[in-house]
Amino acid sequence: MNSRILTVFGATGFIGRELLRCLSKEKRDLFSVVRIFSRKNKDISFLENLNLNVKHIQGSITSQKDVESAIQGASHVVNLVGILYPTKQNSFDAVHHESVKNIARICHSSGVQQLVHISALGSSLDSSSEYARTKALGEKAALSHFPSSTILKPSIVYGPEDDFFNRFYRMAKISPVLPLVGGGETKFQPVHVNDVAQAILVALDERQSVVSGKVFELGGPHVKTFRELLKLMLRYSDPPLRRLLLPMPFWLAKTQATAFELAYQLFGVAPMLTRDQVELLKVDNIVTAGSLNLLDLGITPKKLSRETLSYLTSR
C-alpha cells in the first residue's frame, strides 16, 4: 500500500459516485486513503460497498477552513463540485469560481502533486450564460494558482443516475408532449459517465508530463441535436414511448423558466428550467476541432445505444 492520499470534492454526486466505483473495482491500490468531501446531510450509504479506505469529511466548498482541512496532507485532489442553478446559499460565482480559486491556492501551498478540475464543455468568458462564464473563470483560476492542474470539460454526461435523459424520461411518462427549446436544433456530444470517470483516473495515474497544465474536452462519438437525443430516448426506452415533440421558441422558454424560478424562490421547488439554461441552449455543446480529447487519454468513448441507455426502463 502506498502513501498517496486522494481528496475528492463532490464525491457524492453523479460523476463522483462513478469515480469511486471505478477506483474500488480497478485502482483500489492507487491511494492509501480516499477522502470524501461532501456537504452535510448527503446520502453516503453507497460508500459501504466500496473496497476503499474511505474517510468522509463534511463541510462547505465555500469555507476556506473546511477546504484546508480536507486538503491537508493530500497528494492528489479532484474537484467535481458544480451547480445547475444558484441557490439561496450559493451563487454560480461562489461555487464555480471562488471555491476553485481557493482549492487551487490551498493545493499549491500544501504541496499537492496533482489537481484535476472538472469544468464543462461550452464554458466561455464571453458567454451570455452565467453558468458558462463562471465555469470559465474557474478554469482560469485553477491554471493560474496551480499551473499543473488538469482540466476536464465534459459535454452532457449520461448514465444510470444522470439528470438529462432521466429527466425527460420521467417527463415523457406523464406527458404526451415534450418541449424542444429553440426548436431542438442545439447540438450536443453526450459522454458516458464511465468515460468521464476513466478520464479522471488516467489524469490521476498518468505521468504528470502527459496531463499537467492541459485542458481536455470530453465528448462521445456522436454529435446529436436536442431533437435527435429526445427521439433516441423515446426509442430506447423500455417499453418504447411515442410522444409529440413540440418546438418552443427561446422567448417562450424564458417566460416558462421565469415561472419555474419564482416557484423555487417561493416554495423551494427545484426548477425544471432556468433562464440561464435557456441561454446555454442557444450555443452548440460539442468538442472543439483540434482540442485534446478522450482519445488523447487512451479512452475510446462509448456509443449512444440501446445498451448504454438501458436504464431508461419502467420494468
Q: What is the DSSP letter of 53?
A: -
With a pLDDT cut of 70, the percent of the chain lying above it is 99
Span 74-103, pLDDT tens digits: 999 999 999 999 998 899 999 999 999 999
Band the pLDDT of 41: cuts 50, 70, 90: confident
Span 207-259, pLDDT tens digits: 777 899 999 999 999 999 999 999 999 999 999 999 999 999 999 999 999 99
Mean pLDDT value across residues 36-58? 87
With a pLDDT cut of 90, the percent of the chain lying above it is 91
Q: What was the pLDDT predicted at 113?
A: 95
Averaged pLDDT score across all residues of the chain: 95
Q: What was the pLDDT predicted at 315?
A: 66
Q: What was the pLDDT predicted at 1?
A: 41
Band the pLDDT of 2: cuts 50, 70, 90: low
Q: Give the three cell numbers for residue 310.
A: 438501458
What angle (nearest 5°) sits at the alpha carbon of residue 10, between those of residues 307 and 48?
A: 70
Amino acid (1-letter code) at residue 181: V
Task: Specify if 262 maps to a domain.
Answer: no
pLDDT at position 40 over 90: no
Q: What is the DSSP letter of 155?
A: S
Domain count, the chain: 1
Q: What was the pLDDT predicted at 43?
A: 78
Which residue range(s) make up the domain with 214? 5-158+190-219+286-297
Q: What was the pLDDT predicted at 131?
A: 98
Band the pLDDT of 6: cuts 50, 70, 90: very high
Task: Specify if 214 maps to a domain.
Answer: yes
Span 115-140, pLDDT tens digits: 999 999 999 999 999 999 999 999 99
Task: Specify if 185 maps to a domain.
Answer: no
Question: 122: domain CATH number?
Answer: 3.40.50.720
Q: What was the pLDDT predicted at 45?
A: 85
Cβ contact 202:273 at 8 Å: no
Task: Specify if 14 maps to a domain.
Answer: yes
Mean pLDDT value across residues 66-78? 97
Task: Specify if 266 maps to a domain.
Answer: no
Task: Specify if 183 maps to a domain.
Answer: no
Span 205-217, pLDDT tens digits: 877 778 999 999 9
Q: Give the three cell numbers for residue 260.
A: 419555474
Q: Taking the model in full, what pTM does it have?
A: 0.96
Task: Specify if 110 maps to a domain.
Answer: yes
- Buried-state track 116-138, b at ≥16 Cβ within 10 A, e below 16: bbbbbbbbeeebebbbbbbbbbb
Mean pLDDT value across residues 18-44? 90
Q: Give the three cell numbers for residue 41.
A: 446531510
Residue 245, judged by CB atoms within 10 A of its CB (0-12, 13-18, 19+), counts as: middle
| DSSP-assigned letters across all residues of 75-122 | SEEEE----SS--SS--HIIIIIIHHHHHHHHHHHHT-SEEEEE--TT
Span 282-295, pLDDT tens digits: 999 999 999 999 99
Task: Specify if 225 maps to a domain.
Answer: no
Q: Give the three cell numbers for residue 47.
A: 460508500
Band the pLDDT of 314: cuts 50, 70, 90: confident
Cβ contact 3:32 at 8 Å: yes
Mean pLDDT value across residues 195-210? 90
